[in-house]
A and B are shown apart, each in its own frame.
Chain A
Amino acid sequence: MAVAKLVLAATSGKSSKILLGLRVLAFLATLSAAIVMGLNKETKTFVVGNVGNTPIKATFTAKFQHTPAFVYFVVANAMVSFHNLLMIALQLFGGKTELTGFRLLSVAILDMLNVTLISAAANAAAFMAEVGKNGNKHARWDKICDRFATYCDHGAGALIAAFTGVVLMLIISAVSISRLVQPNKCSISTTAATPSVVP
């Protein structure tokens, strides 16, 4: 399993490079999900009725702000991408800051919290999108995707990016936890030149 291989690799010094690569990917995925959903808007004019011979047109807009689940989706994806950006910056520009004890633990805990955050956001948006796509006969809710096709397509793209982010964050969290298991100190500098000494 890929996760097991990553956890084994974490025991060597390469774990920081793998972690950096994964964090960049997760940052890009969640950022693109937040941006695509944040700019999701479609305006369409429909004919709603006829008065005599002249049709009455009304303009309807589909925005992401109409659904609270999508608002939460955008906010949560922005937060997770910000967290990944912070961790990347810490790893690249932290210099010789030693990742020991409490700092390593706080990174692992923050990663776990962000995993739950992004999975909740992605799932809430996914189920709301499913209701929007298929409607609900029992509650008499009409589907909206047949009328606002572009809105639905953009939403689907954002959802795919968010679920990629979920998988990536889960792997990142597993790698962070596995770094806790090894009691040797790992410094943040990316070149693992000095071998770590186990007391």
Chain B
Amino acid sequence: MVKLTKRIGALVLRLVAFGAALAALIVMVTSRERASFFAVSLEAKYTDMAAFKYFVIANAVVSVYSFLVMFLPKESLLWKFVVVLDLVMTMLLTSSLSAALAVAQVGKKGNANAGWLPICGQVPKFCDQVTGALIAGFVALVLYVLLLLYSLHSVVDPFLLQKS
């Protein structure tokens, strides 16, 4: 009974992580705003920044991976491989989130020393959507860290609780 609830809990966790990564992906992809000032029309898309493109790709990879792992049968030997892949996916998530965050912070505050002006004043809705996507990415990251610890616990049995 305990094993069943644990397994359902892990499945729910992975489902929510899949949802969060998918949400981050969709919110970032649909962020687009057109602003015009002084007869110059400026359109802000997520493809303008390389970091946002990397964020979208990383979250897409993580979503597909989560979706596939949800259907892995319990007795499969691939669960040992899932531990390593979970670590790789966590690395992907954290690196993409930190890169997008670094670039978005420059977009919001600018960089006075380099002469880079902030762009959030001109495209506020784009900035808000990017912020939402980053928050969803952060939720996915936290869930993935929990999933990693859970996979490690269920596969490796580090406290040597089971007598083999």
Residues of A whose CB lies within 8 Å of any CB of B are 60-63, 66-69, 72, 101-102, 104-105, 108-109, 112, 115-116, 119-128, 130-132, 136, 138-142, 144, 170, 173-174, 177, 180-181, 183
Which residue of the partner chain A has the closest CB to B80? A181
B98 near A144: Cβ-Cβ < 8 Å: no
Residues in B neighbouring A67, C-beta threshold 8 A: 106, 111
A141 vs B48: C-alpha distance when bound (angstroms): 12
Contact yes or no, A123 B156, CB < 8 A:
no
CB atoms of B158 and A120 under 8 A apart? no
Tell whether, in the assembled complex, residue B99 and residue A124 are in contact, meaning their CB atoms are under 8 Å apart. yes
In the bound complex, residues from chain A placing their C-beta under 8 Å from that of B45 are 138
Please determine whether B44 and A138 come into contact, CB atoms closer than 8 angstroms. yes
Q: Does B49 contact A124, Cβ atoms closer than 8 Å?
A: no
Known: A120-B95, A132-B114, A139-B119. A112 touches B164 (CB 8 A): no
Given contacts A121-B98, A139-B119, 14 further A-B contacts (CB under 8 A): A60-B113, A63-B113, A68-B105, A112-B87, A116-B91, A119-B95, A123-B96, A123-B99, A124-B98, A128-B102, A140-B117, A141-B117, A142-B114, A144-B114
Assuming the contacts A101-B160, A105-B158, A177-B83, asked whether A141 and B102 have C-beta atoms less than 8 A apart, the reply is no
CB-based closest 8 A-B pairs? A123-B95, A120-B98, A69-B102, A138-B48, A127-B99, A124-B102, A66-B113, A124-B98
Chain B residues touching A, range: 35 or more
- Are the CB atoms of A141 and B98 closer together than 8 Å? no
A66 touches B111 (CB 8 A): yes
Provide a sorted-by-A list of 19 A–B residue pairs whose CB atoms are within 8 angstroms: A67-B111, A101-B160, A112-B148, A123-B99, A126-B99, A127-B50, A127-B102, A130-B50, A131-B49, A131-B103, A132-B114, A136-B48, A138-B48, A139-B116, A141-B114, A142-B115, A142-B116, A180-B152, A181-B80
Residue of B nearest to A113 (CB): B145
Q: How far is the CA of A138 from the CA of B44 in the complex (A)?
A: 7
Contact B158 A108 (CB under 8 A): yes
Q: Which residue of B lies closest to A134 (CB)?
A: B50
A136 touches B95 (CB 8 A): no
